[in-house]
Amino acid sequence: MLLADSPFADRLNTNYVPTDSEVLEILHILVDPADELARLDAEIKDMEIAISRLKERRALLKVPIDAHKALISPMRRIPQDVLLEIFFSCLPLQHNALIDPAEAPLILGRICRDWRRVAYSTPMLWCFIHIPSPNYRFAPPTILSKLGRIVEAWLERTATCALDISLNDTTFFVDVNIEIHPLISQLLPVSRRLRHLALSGDAEFLRPLLRLGAKDLPLLKSIRIDSNINQIFSGSADALQLPSLEDVSLRITESVDPLSFPLKWAQMTGLSLQCYSSWSENGPEGGLTIRGALEVLRRCPNLERCELRMTRADDESVDTTTSIPLLQMHTLVLTGFHFEKWIPHLVLPKLRCLQVGDVILGDTASRPPDPYMRADIDPNHFTSSSLQELFESFPMISHLRLSSTTYSQAPVALDDAFLPLFYAPHDLCPALTHFTALSFCAGFSDTAALAFVRGRMVMPTPLQQFQVRFRRPMEVDIMPELQIFISDGLKVEVQYPSVPRFDAKEGLYGPQSLY
């Protein structure tokens, strides 16, 4: 009997319970189909064995075929100059090369003998190195000695090329009985070839390098220092006075006055200062105020990129009348809790990237084409009038991103009263094409957001992107009204907090639980 003609067909896949006689009938019906199933299983097994044997034969044949194809691989015949271009493209762009066998340039020497010969005989591949020094209090001697040998071999491969070196160390010399840091002692002999240097660690660890002068550091163009105490600048700090030095970044976590640094301020093209104050019996000492920041900018007329963090409030009024021309500046970052309004007398004709306040870091690397500019602003640092003054100072802002890492109990400057300033009849920021407001900075309503988009889309330069992330529930669904603009190419992202979900297990196993 065919199973399709089974008298139980209408009861299959139900909860029906057969009687004893029906069970015997079902077993009789399944005899022939079960035999057929066993036969099919046997055929499948025979075919699987045949397929397995064919795969074995194929694998045995494929190995020599692949080996012969490898002989005529285009990579074997590639000219060395092209191979080197590929090698250079493998190096990291955002940081110095790592001492990691899985990354370039070390991995390039692990492919084959010929690649290793080419890589190890090309000094420029090894001119960049980041050295993560282990703590000399706890690291096993075998690791320390091996790291020293790796650095020594790496530096030998650089021949006479200029060097970019970053070194981070967590050792505190007060806890270690060594006269000079072993890795620093390896850098001293190659100091005349140092071009870019980044150092992080204890002041005593850094001192031997920073005491070198122009004779020992003739090529040094930039230096980054991250240290815990200001003793690093006590006595000699010749490395900060080099005639070749153009770019300086200093982060000092204890009391120091940045204006006391022995820098050749006028020759700086890049500058970053994060220097913190401390409290003494005479009040706050060190740190950078608004007044100090303005003085830094006055001393550096050739700056192209600048980042200043205000870490202390001014105890006197700030002069906002004297013009400060910064004719080459393209990037300016001003952060800190004591920055409350824009400085209108800064002359910045080439500014293309501006960051003011403690913003949520995003993709700030991109820069709009000339003559437009990108602005990342924390509006919690401003009143409505001072925020308007900031935007009026830069009519070429095309990419505006408003965000904040801090919560302010004061009214948000960017509210329903401020947003209409961006369209007729005021037309604030007429070149604006990308608008983003995140979290605490989106203090306006849904209807104000819709009016903003409508107002900007009829301007000579319409919006291309509108992104808002509210910290409140939706008031009005504006997406249907925005569809007409989305169909014309406007990119829109409007987000609201997710609705809290009921969790039946919440608190079940907490401190007060009975279980």
User: Domain-by-domain residue ranges, the chain?
Assistant: 3-71, 352-497
Look at residue 373 in the predicted model and tell me its pLDDT: 94
Q: Distance between CA atoms of 162 and 325, rounded to whole angstroms?
A: 34
Range of 5-19, 86-100, 500-514 with top mean pLDDT: 86-100
pLDDT tens-digit map of 132-155: 877 766 777 788 788 889 999 999
Residue 211: pLDDT band by 50, 70, 90 thresholds? confident
pLDDT tens-digit map of 368-390: 888 899 999 988 878 888 889 99
**CA 376 to chain centroid:** 15
Q: Residue type at 323?
A: S
Share of residues in the chain with pLDDT > 90 (%): 54
Of the candidates 279, 286, 283, the one whose C-alpha atom is nearest the C-alpha of residue 261 is 286
Q: Distance between CA atoms of 129 and 121, rounded to whole angstroms?
A: 17
C-alpha triplet 438, 290, 406: angle, nearest 5°: 25
Question: Which pair of tokens denotes residue 223?
Answer: 């230096």
Look at residue 298 in the predicted model and tell me its pLDDT: 94
Residue 366: pLDDT band by 50, 70, 90 thresholds? low
Half-sphere exposure of 232 (CA within 13 A, CB side): 29
The C-alpha R_g of the chain, in whole angstroms, comes to: 34
Average pLDDT (389-399) is 93
Residue 316: pLDDT band by 50, 70, 90 thresholds? low
Look at residue 312 in the predicted model and tell me its pLDDT: 79
For residue 170, pLDDT beyond 90: no
Question: In the CATH scheme, what architecture does the domain 352-497 have?
Answer: Alpha-Beta Horseshoe (3.80)
Look at residue 47 in the predicted model and tell me its pLDDT: 96
Strands 491-495 and 247-252: unpaired
For residue 279, pLDDT beyond 70: no
Residue 506: strand, helix, or coil: coil
Q: Distance between CA atoms of 118 and 166, rounded to whole angstroms?
A: 25
pLDDT tens-digit map of 435-446: 999 877 888 999
**Whether 492 contacts 468, CB under 8 Å:** no
Strands 163-169 and 324-325: unpaired
Of the candidates 231, 235, 238, 230, the one whose C-alpha atom is nearest the C-alpha of residue 256 is 230
Q: Which residues of 455-465 are buried (b: 16+ CB within 10 A; e: fewer)?
A: bbbeeeeebee
Mean pLDDT score of the chain, rounded to an integer? 87
Of the candidates 213, 201, 332, the one whose C-alpha atom is nearest the C-alpha of residue 273 is 332
Residue 215: strand, helix, or coil: coil
Give the other-Cβ count within 10 Å of 390's Cβ. Answer: 21
Look at residue 435 in the predicted model and tell me its pLDDT: 95
